[in-house]
Amino acid sequence: MDRGSVLIRPAAREDVPAVAAIVRDENPAWVFSDRGWQHRWESAPARSRLVALVAVADEKIVGHGGAGLNPSTSVQGAGGLGVTVLDFARGNGIGSRLYDALLEHLKSVGGRNVIAIFVQNDSGERFARTRGFVHVKSAPISRVDPRTVELTIADDPGFRVQPLAALRDRPRDIFDLDAIAALDEPAVNPTDAPRYEDWELAEWRHPDLELNGSSVVLSGDKPVALSLLRVDAERGRGVSAFTATLPEFRGRGLATRAKARTLLWAAEHGITSIATANDDSNLAMLAINRRLGFKPIGTLVTYQREL
């Protein structure tokens, strides 16, 4: 490959299938349809200043990258950056060109620090370290075939487990639960400044969010726990996108009940793989996953550097 012939340009809508395929291949915990990946681009709030680039060689997309500010944290200048190049195209400086362009963009929009999250691998970690990044977090990736889950959980008369579809007209209540539960979610930059309008567009309207498969636990009429399921039906894959319980209701097995119902639904609807990733300090959720039969298949690592 002639490195001088590689074009770095902004990503366009017609690039979605190629980029989505690369991302699905690189990270088994990222599950989405092509439309789901397009939604990721389109739903980013303007203040995130998101930019997406592709690298093209011989009319084929051989790499991609994205960078922007984190719109859901109060940490000033917190940003994220990611770069991927197909194996056969590596060693031609494509990753460096993508990275340099994305880093300059972050600096230009007020970025002060940047994180990169990727599946742990030697070349990726070398790439990050040589550019001043340091490892700050790890999150085991695990997966289960929902058809193999046999866990049964006794009903609790004080709580009802419902499909999220039963609350489709109450997105604000689901947002409130999500936002409160996310406050103590392990993260380099805490999710402590979410906006309903951002969440409603990015999460509630996500084309891969399966309202019938996702589960919510009610205490009376109050949502107190949930397990969100996104599905790529074409490929028979799903991802447990977020499972959480309000702090005052924890320790009662509600998250397990919500997630178990979600897995049962998936097994009955042609889904053969459910993936998830959880910070290695989140011992409670890791224990729930083990109980439900999830097995480790890799590790997501988070690297950070100051700008």
* All domains of the chain in start order, with CATH: 3-139 (3.40.630.30), 143-298 (3.40.630.30)
Backbone angles phi, psi at 134, to 5 degrees: -125, 150
Each of the 307 residues of the chain gets a pLDDT tens digit; together they read 666 689 999 999 999 999 999 999 888 778 899 999 999 999 999 999 999 999 999 999 999 999 999 999 999 999 999 999 999 999 999 999 999 999 999 999 999 999 999 999 999 999 999 999 999 999 999 999 999 998 777 778 899 999 999 999 999 999 999 999 989 888 899 999 899 999 999 999 999 999 999 999 999 999 999 999 999 999 999 999 999 999 999 999 999 999 999 999 999 999 999 999 999 999 999 999 999 999 999 999 999 999 9
Residues 211-245 as b or e (16 or more Cβ within 10 Å = b):
eebbbbbbbeeebbbbbbbbbbeeeebbbbbbbbb
- Residue 248's CB is within 10 A of a number of other CB atoms, namely 9
> Rounded distance, CA 307 to CA 134, Å?
13
The pTM (predicted TM-score) of the whole model is 0.93
- For the record, the structure tokens of 33 come out as 């349809």
Amino acid at 66: G
